[in-house]
Structure 1
C-alpha cells in the first residue's frame, strides 16, 4: 500500500510540471513588490513551497495550462505585471495557487481589493508621467461596431479637456489616485464640431460587427483602463436619428438632475447615436463599458476624473453584466445619477430596463427614459449602405455584380430575427463576408447571404429568393390533399397567405383566423397542413391549449414573468418559441376558455404584429399564421343524431354561429380577427375519405417499422363507418379510435403469431360480417 501511494504521488508530481499555478505564485513571491503585498495579508512567502507540495500530495493535479491562463489574464510583460498576475490568481478560485493562499490564512477578499487599488494607482502614476505637462493627449484611432460608435478616443488627463484649471483634489481623491496630481496645463481648445447630419469620409480602419456594441481597445498589460474622449471627426456617419440626437442633448444639458436612459434593442444604432453626442455637445464625451468594472471603487474613481474634466459619460453594455443580483458597480452609478456629476447617459435594452427596475425598485421614476424606435423604410437602407463599406473593408472584399444591399436588407428584415434593424442586415452581411473570405473568393455575392439565411431559418431557398411564390397559387389544392372537406375554408386561408406573399402584410401576421365548429371536424388538421405547406419543418406548428390559461395570472405564463418574479427563468410559452423562430403557425386551441386578460394580449399581435414579453423583448409575429379554434355555436349546427342540418340552411346557420361566438370575445378582439370561419359537420362521404387516409397513414408507419403493409377492402371500410356512426357532435375521432381497436389490433395479433412477416401485405376483408386478415403477395 505505501508503494502504491508513492507511485500515485510521483505521478502527480510528474503531471504538475513547473507550469502549474502554484509554481507561478512562488515565482511571483520572489519579487519584493508582490512579497510586500502578501505580507500585508499575513502570508509568508517562504511557506508557499511547502503548501504547494502539500496540495500536490492531497488533491488531483490541475490542468497543465493554468500558468498560461493566469499570465494571459494578468499580463505577461510590462511594468507591474507581477501584481496583475497575482490579481489574476486571486480572481481564479479553482486554481491551486488560490488554495495555497487560503491555506496560508490570507483574506482573499481584502487581498483582491488591495491589488486592484495598487494596480490602478501605480498605473495612473505612470500614465501621468508619460504625458508632458501643458500638452493634450492626441486622439487615438477609432474602432466601432455596426451602428455603434468609436471606442478609442483620446486619453483623459486632469485639465486636458477643460477650459479652466480644475480645483485641487480632496485628501480622499489624492489617496485614491496616488501620484496623479493636477498639472499646470493650458486650457485645451475644442476642435470644430460638425453638424449631426455631417457624413465624414469613411475610415478604412473602422471595424464593424453586427451587435451594435462598442468594442474596447486592448489595453496595455498591467495598465489601468485609459479614459478616452470621443473624437467627433472620426465618427462614422449616422442616418435618421437627428430628432433623437437633439432630445438626448437636451436631456443631458438640462439644469435639473434627471439622468437620461436610452432604451433600444441591440442593433438599433443606440451606441452610434450616443457617440454622436460628441458632435452636439461642447463638452468632452467618454464611453465607459459596464463589464470593465468589477467593483464600486473603480467606477467611482473614473467618474470623479470625468466630473473634474466637465465631461459627459455614455455608460454602455449594462445589459452584459451577468447575474440577476445587483452588480457591485451599481452604487457608484446610482450616486452619480443622484449628484449629476458627471452627467451620464445610460444605454439599456428593454430587458435591461426590466432588470434595472428589479435591482432598484422605483428608480425609473427618477430617470428620464427615452425610447429609441427602430429605423424603417429608406433610413434603414441608407444606414446599411453607409456601414457596409467598413465591413467589406475589414474582410478585404467587394460586392459582386448581383449583390444589392437593398435585397440584403429585405431578406434580413423579413426572415431573420434577433438584432434590430439595421444591425440585423449588417450581421447578415458580416456572416456572408466571412464565408466568402473563408472560401477564397474576392467578392461577396447574393447567393452567399441567401445561403446563410437558409441555414439560420431552416427555410427553403425558393422561399428566400421568391422563386417559390408561384407555389402559393395552388395552396388550397395542396391543403386539400391533407384535409377532407371544408373547401371554402381552405380557399380563404390560401387567399390570405397569397395576399401576404404579394406584399400586402401591413406589419400584421400573415393571417389571423378563428375556426368554429364541433369537435373532430378537422380544425387542428387544417393548422397542421398549413404549417407543413408554408414552412416545411416538423416544428413549424406551435400549439397552446388555451384551457390551461383560464386564470388572470396565466398571462405571466404566456409572455413570461418579469425578472425577479417566480418562474421568470422559464420564459413565455408563446413568446420564447417565437423569439427562437418566428416562422410558425400558432394554434390557440379552445381560445374561448382562456381568460379575458389573455385575450387582451392578442390585440397587439393582430394589430401590430408584435408583443412585448415579460423580459421587455419585442417579439415579432409578422411571419406567423395565428389560428384560433373554438366549439362556440356548435350546438346550433347539430341536427338530429346521426346527421347534419340541410345544406340549404348553411349560410343562415353560419350567421347564427358567428353571432353566438361574437358574444364571448371582447369587441376590440373580434374586430381584429381577419377571418372567422365556420366548419360544417362531416358527411358520410367525407368520413369514408378520412377513413381511407387514416388507413394509408397507418400502413405507411407499419411499413417503416416492420416492412409490412396492409389494406382494407371497401366492404370492411363501410362497416367501420357504420360502427363509428356519422355523429356531427363527434366528427372523425371515433373513427380513428375504432380503426386502432378493430383493424390495427387484428393485424398486430397476426404479426406477433408470425403469420404476417416483413415483405407481406395484409388484406383486411369482411367474411360473414366478421373482419378477417389474409396474406397477400
Structure 2
C-alpha cells in the first residue's frame, strides 16, 4: 500500500533543511518548486486555490538556479546544501524513532525498491499527536489561509477565519474528538448535502470540534493534502444583524456571502454556531428568513456549512422545519468521560497557566474533573471542569498565589455548587465521626433515631454512595415530638444552613391533577414554562433537604413519582429535563399510627412520657416502646404500596417526650430568646430551673400536642414580661433582666 511504501516522515521533518537553505543563500525552493515534491519525485504543478488570496510564499532563486528535468532525475547537492540536507535527514529519523516508540508511525523498509508516493497520500495527521493542535504559529500558512477583503468583503467583515487562527496557534488543543472530526470531513467531502450538524448538550464541546477541524485542516495543508487547503469561516449572527433596520439589508448581506462562498468552489466552509437562531432571523414581511434563503444553496452543495445546536433547540426549531432539517446530516457530540475530560484540561492547562500566571498541580487537574462531575450537575464536561480551573486560577492570581492545588479547586467547586467547602476538602471528617453529638445538641431525645440517621449519612459520606439521594427517610410519630426540628438540624449539619429545605405540604397534592404542580405541567398546558414546585426548587438548589410533610395525604399518582426518585435519584419535569436528586436528603413525615399513643391506657401513656404516677421498670418500658413502634409501623406499612415502602431507606418512629426532655426543650428555647435579646438590644437575660417548671405547668406541654405549645408559652409569659421592662425604660443596653417565679406568676428583676 502507499503507507507501506512511504519512507518514515515526522512533522516538520523537512523544515530544518529549508531554513538552512535560506540561511546559506542557496536559491533552491523545496516547498513550492513546480517539479519537486517532498518525496523527491517530479510532480505536476498544482492548481492555485481560488479561496486563498494572494500567491503562496515562494523563495526566489537567482539566475543560476538549476532547473530540474521532467524526467525525474534525482536532485543532488553539495557543500552547505548537502550538510543541511544530512542534518535534516538525521533529525527526521530521530523524530520518527520517538514517534515509533509512542505508536505514532509505522516502520517502513527504507531499502524498498518501490518509489516513494507523494506525501499527500500517506500523511495521517490524526496519528502524529495525542491531540489536535498547532503547536506554534506558522505565519506562512496563516497567510495562505487569509481571505482578501477585496475578494471576500462580507466573509471578512462578518466572519471569523478559524483556519487562519489555527495556523497562528490561537486555538486551544482539542482532545478526544477524532471520531467527530473524521465524520465532519467525510460529510464535507460529499458532492451534495455536504452539511454536518453538530448536536449536543451545552458545554460538551461542539464549537471545539469545529476548532479541532480547523487545526486538522492546517495539519493536512502542511502534509500536502488538498482537503487541508479549505478555509473555515464562522459567521456571527449578531454582526450580520447589526445595522439591518432597513428592509432588505440583511438579505443583501446574506446574498453577498452566498455569492462569495459559491465563487470559492467549495473551498470555503461556513460555520453557523447556534444554527437554530437562523430560523426566522432577519425575517421580512413576506415570511422569508435566513434559513429559507439558504435552503437551495445548502441542498446543491454550493454552500458547505457546519451547524451546531443543542438537543432541545434541535427539537424545537430544526425538526419543525423538515425542509431545513434534511439539508443537514446530524453528528452527535456526546459528553466526554472523565478520563477524556482530564486529557482535555491537561491539553489546555498551559494556556490557562500563562493567562493567570499560576501553576496547576496534577492533583488540581484531577480534582477539577472529579469534583465537578460529582457536585456540578447543571453543566457538562469538559466545560464545567475548565470553568472550575479558570476560576481557581483567577482567584489564585487575585490572592497572589503561584500554585493551585486540590484544596483550592475544592473551594471553588464548593462555591459554585453552594455546599460547605470543608465537605470537599475533607476537613469535616471529624464532624461526621461525631454526628450524633451535633444532632443531640439540636434535637432532644430520640437517641435511636439519631444513631440510625448518623450511620446512614456516614456511609454515604465515606464513599458508599450511588446516584440515589443521600437518604430517604420516613418520620412517624405524634405531633410535637421533634420531627420537623430534626429536619432543620440535619439541614444545618449537611449544608450549614437551617433554611436549606424545600418543604411541600402534601395536603396540597390530594388530587390526581396535582402531579403537574409537583413536576410541572406538560407541553400545551398552563404553567408549562414555570416548572414544578419540587423539580424547579431542586434544579435551582441541588444541595438541600426535601421535606414532604404529611405524606399520607398525597394522591397515589404523586406517590408513584417517588418510586423513580428513590430508585434512580432523578425526576423528569414537564419540560423533559432530568433533575438530579442525588445530593438531597428526602424526608417524609406522617402521623400514621399516632392514634396508638392516644388509645394506650392512661397510666401506661403517662409512664412512657414521664408524667404518670407509676414508675415502670426498664424491661417493661422497653417492651411497651417496642410494642408501640411495631403498631405504628404496621399502620404506616398498610397505607403505602409495597414498592414504595421497600424503597425507603429508614422508617423511624419518634416516641412521645419524657418530662426531662420537655424541660430540656424549654431550656433550649429560652436560650434562643437570650441570644436574640443580646444581639438586638445588648441586654442579658437570666432564668433558673423554677422558671422552666413553671412554663411546663402553665401550658408549655400538652399530651396531644407534645412540646409544640412551649414556644407560644415562652413568648406569652417570658418575652412579654421582658418587653414590658425594656419599653418602660427600667433597663438599658448593657443591663440585666432576671426572670424569677413569684407565687403563681413570673416576675422580672432588672439591673443596670
Instruction: Sort the TM-score into its range (normalised by shorter chain).
Output: 0.5 to 0.7
Q: What's 1:137 paired with?
A: 52
**Residue from 571, 576, 590 that aligns with 1:630:** 590
Q: What's 1:379 paired with?
A: 340
Q: What's 2:158 paired with?
A: 225
Q: What's 2:205 paired with?
A: 269
Shift of 1:482: 0.5
Cα distance between partner residues in 1 of 2:448 and 2:331:
48
Q: What's 2:110 paired with?
A: none
Is the contact made by 2:155 and 2:235 (CA closer than 8 Å) also made in structure 1? no
Cα distance between partner residues in 2 of 1:220 and 1:438:
42
Cα distance between partner residues in 2 of 1:670 and 1:367:
49
Deviations 1:476-513 (A, max 9, x none): 11011000111122222222222222122223322222
How large is the Cα RMSD of the aligned pairs? 4.7
* Structure 2 residue 390 is matched with structure 1 residue 390: no
**Residue from 548, 551, 555 that aligns with 2:508:** 548
Q: What's 2:291 paired with?
A: 333
Q: What's 1:199 paired with?
A: 130
Superposed, 1:110-121 pairs within 5 Å as none
Residue 716 to residue 220, structure 1, CA distance change in 2 (3 Å): farther
* Structure 2 residue 636 is matched with structure 1 residue 705: no
Shift of 1:288: 4.6
Shift of 1:414: 3.4
Superposed, 1:67-82 pairs within 5 Å as none
Cα distance between partner residues in 2 of 1:355 and 1:380:
29
Q: What's 1:736 paired with?
A: 711
Deviations 1:539-590 (A, max 9, x none): 4333333333444554444445578864456554334444444332222323
Superposed, 1:252-331 pairs within 5 Å as 262-273=198-209, 287-294=234-241, 302=257, 309=266, 315-318=272-275, 327-328=281-282, 331=289
Find the residue that maps to 2:706 and give its secondary structure.
coil
Shift of 1:434: 2.8
Deviations 1:722-751 (A, max 9, x none): 343754542221222222223322333333
Cα distance between partner residues in 1 of 2:668 and 2:579:
38
TM-score (ref. length: structure 2): 0.64
Shift of 1:764: 3.4
Residue 748 to residue 726, structure 1, CA distance change in 2 (3 Å): closer
* Structure 2 residue 672 is matched with structure 1 residue 689: no
Find the residue that maps to 1:374 and give its secondary structure.
coil
Superposed, 1:165-564 pairs within 5 Å as 194-195=125-126, 199-200=130-131, 202-203=133-134, 224-226=157-159, 238-239=174-175, 262-273=198-209, 287-294=234-241, 302=257, 309=266, 315-318=272-275, 327-328=281-282, 331-333=289-291, 340=299, 346-349=307-310, 352-353=313-314, 356=317, 373-395=334-356, 397-399=358-360, 404-416=364-376, 418-438=378-398, 443-446=403-406, 448-457=408-417, 459-537=419-497, 539-560=499-520
Superposed, 1:655-666 pairs within 5 Å as 655-665=630-640
Residue 476 to residue 345, structure 1, CA distance change in 2 (3 Å): farther
Residue 201 to residue 266, structure 1, CA distance change in 2 (3 Å): closer
Residue 225 to residue 459, structure 1, CA distance change in 2 (3 Å): same
Cα distance between partner residues in 2 of 1:477 and 1:191:
70
Cα distance between partner residues in 2 of 1:303 and 1:652:
83
Find the residue that maps to 2:428 and give its secondary structure.
helix
Deviations 1:302-346 (A, max 9, x none): 568668739876542357x59xx9644794436767974558665
TM-score (ref. length: structure 1): 0.62
Q: Gapped runs of 5+ residues in structure 1?
A: 1-131, 140-188, 207-217
Cα distance between partner residues in 2 of 1:722 and 1:191:
95
Find the residue that maps to 2:387 and give its secondary structure.
helix
Is the contact made by 1:507 and 1:622 (CA closer than 8 Å) also made in structure 2? yes
Residue 683 to residue 759, structure 1, CA distance change in 2 (3 Å): same
Is the contact made by 1:517 and 1:680 (CA closer than 8 Å) also made in structure 2? yes
Residue 515 to residue 367, structure 1, CA distance change in 2 (3 Å): farther
Residue 638 to residue 226, structure 1, CA distance change in 2 (3 Å): same
**Residue from 626, 633, 644 that aligns with 1:651:** 626
Cα distance between partner residues in 2 of 1:248 and 1:635:
69
Find the residue that maps to 1:764 and give its secondary structure.
strand
Is the contact made by 1:315 and 1:347 (CA closer than 8 Å) also made in structure 2? yes
Shift of 1:427: 1.0
Is the contact made by 2:158 and 2:240 (CA closer than 8 Å) also made in structure 1? no
Cα distance between partner residues in 2 of 1:293 and 1:658:
68
Is the contact made by 2:510 and 2:554 (CA closer than 8 Å) also made in structure 1? yes
Shift of 1:435: 3.6
Cα distance between partner residues in 1 of 2:640 and 2:327:
39
* Structure 2 residue 682 is matched with structure 1 residue 721: no
Cα distance between partner residues in 1 of 2:182 and 2:511:
45
Residue 667 to residue 239, structure 1, CA distance change in 2 (3 Å): farther
Find the residue that maps to 1:513 and give its secondary structure.
strand
Matched pairs, number = 582
Cα distance between partner residues in 2 of 1:764 and 1:352:
66
Cα distance between partner residues in 1 of 2:531 and 2:653:
34
Cα distance between partner residues in 2 of 1:580 and 1:695:
36
**Residue from 733, 752, 771 that aligns with 2:746:** 771
Find the residue that maps to 1:627 and give its secondary structure.
strand
Q: What's 1:165 paired with?
A: none
Find the residue that maps to 1:224 and give its secondary structure.
helix
Is the contact made by 2:132 and 2:212 (CA closer than 8 Å) also made in structure 1? no
Cα distance between partner residues in 1 of 2:499 and 2:153:
49
Deviations 1:382-434 (A, max 9, x none): 2322332333344454435x754112323333344543122111111112223
Cα distance between partner residues in 1 of 2:319 and 2:599:
57
Q: What's 1:37 paired with?
A: none
Cα distance between partner residues in 2 of 1:242 and 1:582:
34
Is the contact made by 1:397 and 1:443 (CA closer than 8 Å) also made in structure 2? yes
Cα distance between partner residues in 2 of 1:335 and 1:605:
47
* Structure 2 residue 611 is matched with structure 1 residue 678: no
